[in-house]
Every structure is written in structure tokens, then in C-alpha cells.
Structure 1
């Protein structure tokens, strides 16, 4: 238990510190994005090593020891592509959530991280009784993060729907005006980062505007659920990757 707690604390620090620095520094400079590089590297390695281990196990069964294919088919390319996809999807979502989420949501996301880590470790250990280590590792991470995201989805939707108020300024505007007003609140530095965050701001504002205009419609709740599901699954899966990176026994 002590070792597990140490793993979780280290992973939380690796995840939370870069996002906190990013949140504090972004209003001042675009160089704040540099704070996200260590987090991106940790996520990449946390995806890459388990994927590589599983791929090597598959190739060990599929390729004869004397075959020259073993020199070319190492599994590194597929693992690298999978890890890159995890970073390309996960890091922007985490950056936006870290920048714009209110305190209650941030607290819930931290709790979701801890839960996903615990469930992933438990699932990996349970599967390890029946599966070889590379498969137990990958499947345990997916099962643990997926289960945690499903559990965290309900309170996350509730917070965004019932607790966090819709900004009054957008209730009397049309959708284009509301989106423009929110984007105008971001630091206008004319850089690629402005364009990227402007896209997230537009989607977030559209969600809030729909909630203000069509509060009683069931389909608006579906929009909130899809948005919360994206954040929950990305947060849980990314944290489990960071946890794998920080574990001392995580090397392949």
C-alpha cells in the first residue's frame, strides 16, 4: 500500500504541476506552453512502453526465431504511433480543462485521477493471474481508466449542468456573438496558440449557449454528457499513462 501510494503521489505531481504552471503563466505569455512539454513526454512514454511490450509479445509468437523479419518488425513504430495519438488527443484536452475548469471540476478530476490509478493497478494485478505481464499491463490500464471514467462521468455532468452557472453575458446573445465575446477574453497575441485555444473556446461557449437557450431540452443534456465523457476518459487514460511512467517497475 505504501508503494502504491507513492506511485500515485508521484503521478499526481507529474500531472498537476505542469498544468498548474500552464494555468498561472498562460495569461502572461505563450511560453507557458513549455510547461506542458514534460507532461506530454510522460504521457507519451506511459503509452509507448506498455504498447511496445504487448507488441513484442505478439511478435515473439508470430515470427520464427531464425527469421530475418525479427530485425525489421520490432513493434517500435506501432507503439510510437499509438503513443503519439495519445498525446495529440490527450494533451490539448488536458490543457484546456486545466486552463478553464473551475475549482469544483478540478477537484473532481483529481479524484478521478486517483481512482483511475487505483483501478488500473488492481485490474493489472488481477489479470496478471491469467495473462502474461505485457497483456495484463495494457488491458489493466484500459479497464481501470475506462471504469474510473464511467464512475466520474455522472458527477462531472451534474457539476457542469446543475452547479456551475451559465455566464449571464451570453444569455442575450446569438451564438456567433457569444463565441466572439468569449474568444475576445483570451489573450490576443496573434499566435498559433490563440488559434488552438480559440477552437476549444468556441466549442465550450457553444455548449453553454445551448444550455442557456434550450435548458429544458433533453438533447442539450446529451451535449453536456458527450463533453464530460471526453474530459473524463482523456483525464483517466492520460493519468494512467503518467502512472505507468512514474512506476519504478514500469520499464519494458
Structure 2
């Protein structure tokens, strides 16, 4: 990936995530159709995740089965891989969608930083491993590398940001039922399916905060650590999937006209 491609990929990934989540956040309070703002982002994540997963599966099959084996068509697993990639996309979009509804400036800056680390690590992986990894496996290998680097680098700083800067509801120190009631009161009174889904996530997150507020021990670090790992994993997966989409589907189509223009007539 060239510097120009890296810049476009980074800017495109940041804009895709931020714009989609911003539209979702703005529309959520007024309409049940707000989820439509998340569909393009989910589609990009699903395509990128599918690309890496299917390439990894093909690499495993090529190292395991003979090219003439009748098991090759059966073991490709395209349907299962597509289902897995779609599930990953749905989970990432659901987590990001909820997180963005009540996120503050600190969490926005942290998310952009994690996206930057993810895309940069993926681009470095493409360059560093190009000599040692076959081209068909380069993308998913670099994606694994980027995911590992991003999680290792981001989790502990994100724990610190969550504990030091993120504002909590005052009612989180109150009675359990009161804390749940205050949290759910932030939802619009529509009683729709979308609100029911979001209310379940709010309930689970409020339980987490309510429990943390009553501990003063290593349990706080464990709970925050699990939560930070989840958020960093979701953001990293989203960013790396979009970067994979750009590298695998956009860069080749952008270069093809240039290659054809350079061919002698």
C-alpha cells in the first residue's frame, strides 16, 4: 500500500465510521429508521471480514488438500464464511451504534486513534510481510497482525480514558432500580423494536457500571479491562475490515485504468 493509498484508506475509514455513526445518533431520537444509517458501514465491515476469512480458509485448504481432491468444492465453506462475516458485522455495528449514542469527546478521540492504529498496522503489515507471505494470504495475515497490535497498544490506554474522563450518571450510585430507570429514561418513548434492543444493551451497561461503583478492588480493573477489550476489538475489527475492502476491491479497480493506459497499442 503506497503512502497515497494509505492516506485515502485512513481518511475514508475515519469518515465512513464517524459519518455513519453521527447520522445514526442524530436520527435515533426522531425515527425508527435511524438504523439505515448503519447499513452502509455494516456492509463494508461484512465485505472486508469475508475477504480475510475466505482467503484464510483457502490458504488452509491449499495446505491441507490436494488440488485435485473432490473435497475442495465441499470444504470451501463460502456460505458459513459469509454467515460468520455477517455476524461479525452485525455485532460490531450494534456495539458501535450503542456506544455512539452516549459517547463524549474523549471517547470520540479514542475511537479515531484506535482506527488510525488499526489502519496503520494493516498497511505496515502489507509492506513488511510482502516478501515472506504469498499474495493470496497477505491481506488476512496483515489483518491478524494489525488486530493484535491494535489491541495490545489500545486496551490499557482505553481503560484509563474510561476511568478518568468518561462521565457517569449520578444515579449510578443510587438504588439499582433507580439507576436502571434513569438510564432507560434517555430513550425516546416510542416502544418500538429498535428501542427494545437498545434498552437491553443499556440495561447490561448500567449493570456493569452499577457493579463497578460498589467495588474498590481489582474487580474494577477486571470489569473495565473486559469492557475496554470489547470496545477496542470492535473498533479494530471495523477499521481493519474497511481497510481490507479498500485494499482488495478499490485499489485494484483504481489501478486498472492506469495499467491499461500504459500498455502499448
Q: Could you say which residue in structure 1 is the equivalent of 2:179?
A: 178
Q: Could you say which residue in structure 1 is the equivalent of 2:94?
A: 92
Q: Per-residue deviation at 1:206?
A: 2.0
1:117 to 102, 119, 123: 119
Q: Is the 8 A contact 1:123 1:141 kept in 2?
A: yes
Q: Per-residue deviation at 1:30?
A: 1.3
Structure 2 distance, partners of 1:14, 1:138, is 21
The answer to whether structure 1 residue 200 and structure 2 residue 201 are counterparts is yes
Q: Is the 8 A contact 2:52 2:143 kept in 1?
A: no
- Correspondence 1:184-223 to 2 at 5 A: 184-214=185-215, 216-223=216-223
**Structure 1: runs of 5 or more not aligned:** none
**Structure 2: runs of 5 or more not aligned:** 254-265
Structure 2 distance, partners of 1:114, 1:95, is 19
Q: Per-residue deviation at 1:250?
A: 6.8
Paired residue secondary structure (1:185): coil
The answer to whether structure 1 residue 152 and structure 2 residue 116 are counterparts is no
Paired residue secondary structure (1:237): helix
Residue 151 and residue 61 in structure 1: after superposition, are their counterparts in 2 closer, same or farther (change >3 A)?
Answer: closer
Q: Deviations over 1:142-183 (max 9, x none)?
A: 221221122122221112112223322332x22232112211
Residue 69 and residue 181 in structure 1: after superposition, are their counterparts in 2 closer, same or farther (change >3 A)?
Answer: same
Q: Is the 8 A contact 1:142 1:237 kept in 2?
A: no
Structure 2 distance, partners of 1:147, 1:233, is 11
Which has the higher mean CA deviation after the structures are superposed, 233-242 or 204-213? Answer: 204-213
2:15 to 13, 16, 22: 13
Say what the alpha-carbon RMSD is for the aligned residues.
2.0
Which has the higher mean CA deviation after the structures are superposed, 128-137 or 11-20? Answer: 128-137
Give the TM-score of the pair, scaled to structure 2: 0.86
Q: Is the 8 A contact 2:119 2:240 kept in 1?
A: yes
Q: Per-residue deviation at 1:6?
A: 0.9
Structure 2 distance, partners of 1:118, 1:127, is 14
Q: Is the 8 A contact 1:63 1:70 kept in 2?
A: yes
Give the TM-score of the pair, scaled to structure 1: 0.90
Structure 2 distance, partners of 1:113, 1:218, is 29
Across the two proteins, how many residue pairs are aligned to each other? 249
Q: Could you say which residue in structure 1 is the equivalent of 2:225?
A: 225
Paired residue secondary structure (1:55): helix
Which has the higher mean CA deviation after the structures are superposed, 101-110 or 181-190? Answer: 181-190
Structure 1 distance, partners of 2:217, 2:172, is 18
Q: Per-residue deviation at 1:75?
A: 3.7
Which has the higher mean CA deviation after the structures are superposed, 226-235 or 153-162? Answer: 153-162
Structure 1 distance, partners of 2:105, 2:220, is 23
